[in-house]
Structures are given as C-alpha cells and as structure tokens.
Amino acid sequence: MIENLLARLAGGSSWREEQASSAFNKLSVSDIAYCLSGLRREHKRFLETRYLGKDWNEWLAGWLYLQTPQSKYRQELCQLAVRELLQPRLCPKCKGRTEVTNRAGLKKPCDRCKSGIVPWTKAKRARFVGMKPDAWRNWESRYNQVYKRLETLDIQIRRHVKRKLK
C-alpha cells in the first residue's frame, strides 16, 4: 500500500492508479521512512488521512482554521475544504480512471477531467456549509483560497518525496 502511495505521490499519477512502478516496489521500509522524514506534522497527518485511512479531518480543519482570516463561515469553509480534498468526487465520466474507452475499444484521455476527480457541486458545498445554494457564490472565492491553502500541503509533500527519491 505504501509503495502505491509513494508511486502516486512521486509520479503524480491518477488518484485511483493502483499500479506502482517496479522501481517503487523495490523500496524498503527504511527507504520509505527516509522519503517521508522531514515532513511537518500537518503533512504527515494529511498523508495519513488521504492515503492510509486515518481520520485527522478535525485536526486538519483546525490547522487550516488558524491560517484563515475571520469570517462568518470560517470554520465551515475549513471543514468543507478538508472534506472535499480528502474525499474527492470522482469524475462521473471516467469514474476516476482519467481515460475512457470509445466504441471501437480504444482508450483515450477523459475530456471531462485531468486527474480523475472533479469539484463538488456548488449545491453540495452550500449544503455542507449550511447555506442556501444561491448564497454560495458570495463565498466561492473565499473558499477557493481556503481550499488552495490545504491543497498546497499535497503539493509540498509530492515535492518533498520527489526530492528525496533523487
């Protein structure tokens, strides 16, 4: 499992990609420990939640809260970002596989998504936060900033692992 995790992290392959390349399969436990060493606590908890099935959702939302300016829905937007990034909505067209098979049986890249996941709908976001769907548009740009801050953790982790694997 952790090999797949690292392959995903280092290769940036699709979210549901289950095949690890043979190079990553050869990584020993100490190699893996080395790859992950030096990550900050928020990175480790993000990793554990996203890839290893642990539940640090509340902790991560709290971490995010501390970096988010005060507003009426500050807490809810942070919880939503954690939920959306860690439980992404799979692309309905390719089911997260990033490619589709046409009638001739040929595989081609999905034109609906790039990574196999698509954003939650506005209605679903609004419902999660507890506001009317119409009100969401007033919060969208603020939410995007919150989401991006959390997403940066993922980007930093990938960079870190790539650097260590060199």
Q: 87: closest CA among 122, 65, 57?
A: 57
Q: Which of 7, 20, 91, 153 binds Zn ion (CB under 5 A)?
A: 91
Residues 118-157 as x/- pattern, contact with Zn ion by CB under 5 A: ----------------------------------------
Near Zn ion by CB under 5 A, which window of 14-22, 52-60, 112-120, 126-134?
112-120
Q: 2: closest CA among 11, 115, 24?
A: 24
- Closest to Zn ion by CB, 121 vs 152, is 121
With beta carbons less than 8 A apart as the criterion, state whether 32 and 9 touch: no
Q: How far is the CB of 102 from Zn ion (least distance, A)?
A: 14
Q: How far is the CB of 160 from Zn ion (least distance, A)?
A: 28
With beta carbons less than 8 A apart as the criterion, state whether 8 and 1 touch: no
- Closest to Zn ion by CB, 5 vs 94, is 94
Instruction: Please state, in angstroms and as integers, the Cα–Cα distance from residue 58 to each residue in 42, 70, 83, 111, 140, following that order.
Output: 12, 18, 10, 34, 22
Helix (H, G, I), strand (E, B) or coil at 107: strand
Near Zn ion by CB under 5 A, which window of 18-26, 51-59, 89-97, 132-140?
89-97
Q: Which of 80, 81, 113, 146 binds Zn ion (CB under 5 A)?
A: 113
Other CB atoms within 10 Å distance of the CB of residue 70: 6
Q: 158: closest CA among 77, 51, 30, 22?
A: 51
What residue type is 104 in one-letter code?
A: A
Q: Which of 107, 108, 112, 137 binds Zn ion (CB under 5 A)?
A: 112
Where does this chain bind Zn ion (CB under 5 A)? 91, 93-94, 110, 112-113
